Structures are given as structure tokens and as C-alpha cells.
Amino acid sequence: MASIMKSWMVAMMSLLMLLGATACRQASMDSDAAAAKNDSVITHARLLTLERKPLYTLAIVGDPWKQGSVLHRYVLVPDSIELPGQLPEGTVVRTPIKRALVYSAVHTALMKELGAFDALKGVTDLQYFTDPDVPARVAAGEVTDCGSSMGPTVEKVIEMEADAIMLSPYQDATYGQVTRLGIPVIECADYMESTPLGRAEWVKFYGELLGRRAQADSLFNAVETAYARVKEQAAAGTAHPTVLTEMVISGVWNVPGGESYMARIIGDAGGKYPWADDHSTGSLNLDFNQVLATAQQADVWLIKSFNIHSYNDLRAAYALNEKFAAFENRRVYVCDTNRSRLFERFPFHPDVLLQEYANIFAGRDGELQFFEHMKQ
């Protein structure tokens, strides 16, 4: 009996020691995570921390699809110094990037704004770049067209001597053969942020990568100030229409979730959003009847499309579109995605889109940059 009791006590002591050690390790991990967040210069973005150290900058990208997990860690080291012997875990990137392969027009536009456009040496999906300077540089041989983002031509990537690949990640992504070339892959998860200023703040990360820290910080500070000013003015104004967005396509109407990026901008611009009580940060996939039941009386209808230019076009796309009050009252606004630079502009300038919406809601049609009030 004594032997059994002794064995039981030893087992219990071992278990308590194990639990204690586990708790200590977890506390240490939590403490490290908290310290990283506290040291970060990021205040709005939820998927990014940025720690600026004397010899390097540590960037930690959170996994948008696994809460609390890390998607990627980057250690950004200036190429003006020798590589330090002691560095934290992560993909080492020598900065500034000088020969980037970029998958998205959003990021090439930002490179130009930061004064780092010469670092653009390769692109994918060239047909989607609306900035004429990009195809012009490709035609001049200054930028390499590497083909499709789904499978870039590896030989061209090697030939262009890329020192970084900037792409937008997706869930369980592998990115194909380019990951075997030893080139740092920068996973630009800014588009997964759920707040306008959260996404815009990623400019600080790109500023570090491109050697444009001061320009990036200045840009974000200006955006943050302008956004707050427009939001305050919209809240104090008298125009607070109910707002419907997008349209039914092939039987599906994708509307922004109630806690999504777009829903927040509508609210901050003074609009009332029919799905504001929804807690989704992505899109809601609804059918026409569901949207009609919820938003038939919406005052304003915002559409982003390349082929809708008139009420006849909208009726031809789906006859029952005329059932909406905004159609009947002629308060439909369209952004022509074929020629508009909206998609390149608003990710890092949400204040511009916020002002656009505030102007629409207040009926200031003469001050619009991206949308047009559908007249016919």
C-alpha cells in the first residue's frame, strides 16, 4: 500500500511539474507575443507587427485564416551593413529591394507613390494593370512580363534576377515553382485587413522593404488625419442614406459583411448599411430575393462594373433590378472598372474613397473622381 501511495505521489508531482513547465512556456510565449506587439509601430493593422531595431526590422504577418497563428516572419536587414550574426527567426530580406517581381497593380501604384518605381522589374497578369507606365516599361524592356500569377514563367523570373516576389496570399497557398528559386516571397496580406486604416497602415511595411521609411510614415500619417476629418464631417452632416452595393451576377449577389472593410467605409461616410448587424468580415453570398427583401428601399445604389453605364444596361442585366427604390429614384452610381484607378488608389488611401462616398451621400456629384451618377 505504501508503495502504491509513493508511486501515486511521484506521478502527481511529475504531472504538476509538467503542467507548471507548460504553463511557464505558455506564459513566456504570451509574454514574447505581447512584447512584440508592444514594440510594434503598427496601431491599426491586426495582421501585422513591425519592430524596428538598430540593425534590422522584424515584420510578423499574421495568418488571416488561422487566428493567433503566424503566416510569415521577415527579418529586414539593410544591404549597407554586413549580415549580423545574431538574428531572430524569419526570412531574411536585404533592403531596399531593387529588383521586385510584383503580382498586383495595387502595390506597383504604391511603389510609384513612394518614389521606388524603379524597383519594379517584373509583373504578372499585365492585362490588369491600368497604369500606362507599367505596359510602357514592359514594351521598353525595363520590366519583364512573367506571365500568369497562377504560374509565372520561371525562366523569366530567373532572367530578371528578382530579389523579392511581392504577391497576395490565399489560404493554403503554395505559389508554384517560384518558391524553389530561393527568392524571398513577400506575402502581402494587407487586403485581408477588415478596417480601412488597418490596410493602409501596411504602407509602413512596404516602406521598410523599399527603403522609403520616412515617406511611408508620412503618407500614413496624412491618410490617418484626413480619414478622421472626413469621418467627423460625415457624422455631423445631415445626409445619412441607406446604401446598397454591387449587383446580382449569375444568380449570386455578393454584398459586404457587416464588419467588412466596405461596410465600415459606408458607415464612416455617414451611410446606413442594411447588413450592419451582420458580424462577417468577408462577403455574404445572397440571391436576388434576399437582397430585395432587405434593401429594396435603399436610397443609394453603388455599383462597380465594366459594362453597366445606364439604367437600360442595369435593367437588361436583370429585369427585376428596376424594383429597387434607388433605380426608380435615379440614385444609382457606377464606377467603371475598365478605366477607373479606384482599385489601385483606395487600399492605401481609404480617405479618398471615404470622401467619394461622403460626396455621393450628400449629392455632391460635381466632386466625384471614381463614380458617376447614372443619368440615363
**Rounded Cα distance, 84 and 95, in Å:** 14
Assess if residue 101 is contained within a domain: yes
Q: Give the tens place of pLDDT for each residue, 240-290.
A: 999 999 999 999 999 999 999 999 999 999 999 999 999 988 899 999 999
Assess if residue 199 is contained within a domain: yes
Q: Are residues 242 and 212 in the same domain?
A: no
Q: Are residues 191 and 85 in the same domain?
A: yes
Q: Residue 312: in which H helix or E strand, if any? A: helix 311-317
Q: Omega of the bond prior to 96 within 30 degrees of 0, cis?
A: yes
Q: Are residues 215 and 241 in the same domain?
A: no
Assess if residue 29 is contained within a domain: no
- The reported pTM is 0.86
Three-state secondary structure of 136-165: HHHHCCCCEECCCCCCCCHHHHHHCCCCEE
Q: Give the tens place of pLDDT for each residue, 101-144.
A: 999 999 999 999 999 999 999 999 999 998 999 999 999 999 99
Which CATH number does the domain housing residue 356 bear? 3.40.50.1980
Q: Give the tens place of pLDDT for each residue, 221-249.
A: 999 999 999 999 999 999 999 999 999 99
- Domain ranges, residue 332: 237-373
The predicted structure's pLDDT at residue 38: 63
